[in-house]
Amino acid sequence: MNIEKSQLKMQIANNIGADIEDRVEGELRAAHELLGAADALQQAALKVPRDLAAKVDTALAEGEIKDMTALEAAEFAKKYLAKAGDYLRHLSDVERSKASDQRSRVAGLKFAMDSLQKMRDEEAQRIQAVIDATEEDGEAPRTEASAARKAHGSVADRRAAEAEAKGSNGTPPKKKRAAKKKAKKAPRKKPTALKAVKKSSG
């Protein structure tokens, strides 16, 4: 296990989790605002047509509407007031749908936060397991390479041991013995004529 990689994963999970948490708060605020707007529109859909219809009835009673008969004017006004109420209810439904979508996004972000927290906890447990496993030796290896050095020695140490086993000149013992044997078998060279003359004159 590589502890540095696990620590990096934990740090990344922390950073992403913090960003997602900020987004969750923003999405929740937006969802509450949408729900508030939907409630306001729903109330308006009930209140506006009722209040305006009452004003139309008052205007008819006081003779303010003169171009139409009282009945025609009342029917015309109330018809469009009903349409206004329907439109307000439609707007309310739209806002509620937006709020529902917003809550779905919040749920997705919370799931991502939970997944990151789970990953962070798993990496923390792995690190703790490595620390616990090496605690008896008094030193916890920080990486896989350091753990290998601790168990088998460094690469330099192993090479030095191999060189020592081969001998001082770096030739393996088997090759040294073969070279000596070959030297014994090689025939001695005969003295040349010049060397023979020098020997007889001397």
Per-residue pLDDT tens digits for 118-137: 877 877 777 777 777 776 55
* Among candidate residues 16, 51, 37, 154, the one with its CA nearest the CA of residue 97: 37
- At residue 160, the pLDDT reads 65
Average pLDDT over residues 87-111: 78
Max Cα distance, the chain (Å): 166
Burial class (CB in 10 A: 0-12, 13-18, 19+), 38: buried
Give the rounded percent of residues in the chain with a pLDDT score beyond 70: 55
The residue ranges of every structural domain in the chain are 3-147, 154-201
3-state secondary structure of 170: coil
Give the rounded percent of residues in the chain with a pLDDT score beyond 90: 0
Q: In Å, how far from its chain's centre is CA 21?
A: 14
3-state secondary structure of 169: coil
Q: How far apart are CA 34 and CA 96, in angstroms?
A: 7
Q: How far apart are the first and last CA of the chain?
A: 82
**Residue found by looking up tokens 């008896």 in the block:** 136
Beta-carbon contacts of 30 under 8 Å, excluding residues fewer than 6 positions away, are: 102
Q: 193 or 96: which carries more pLDDT confidence? A: 96
Q: 104 or 178: which carries more pLDDT confidence? A: 104
Helices (H), the chain: 3-61, 70-134, 144-152, 155-166, 173-185, 193-201
DSSP assigned state of 64:
-
Q: What is the pLDDT of residues 158-190, one digit of tens each?
A: 666 666 666 555 555 555 555 555 555 555 555
Q: How far apart are CA 124 and CA 116, in angstroms?
A: 12
Written as six digits, the tokens of 171 are 């030739």
Checking 107-113 for CB contacts under 8 A at 24+ apart, the result is: 109/20, 109/23, 109/24, 109/27, 110/24, 112/20, 113/17, 113/20, 113/21, 113/24
pTM: 0.38
Sign of torsion, CA 31 37 39 41? negative
Written as six digits, the tokens of 53 are 């219809």
- At residue 163, the pLDDT reads 66
Q: Compute the half-sphere exposure of residue 95: CA atoms within 13 Å on the CB side of its CA.
A: 19
Q: 118 or 69: which carries more pLDDT confidence? A: 118
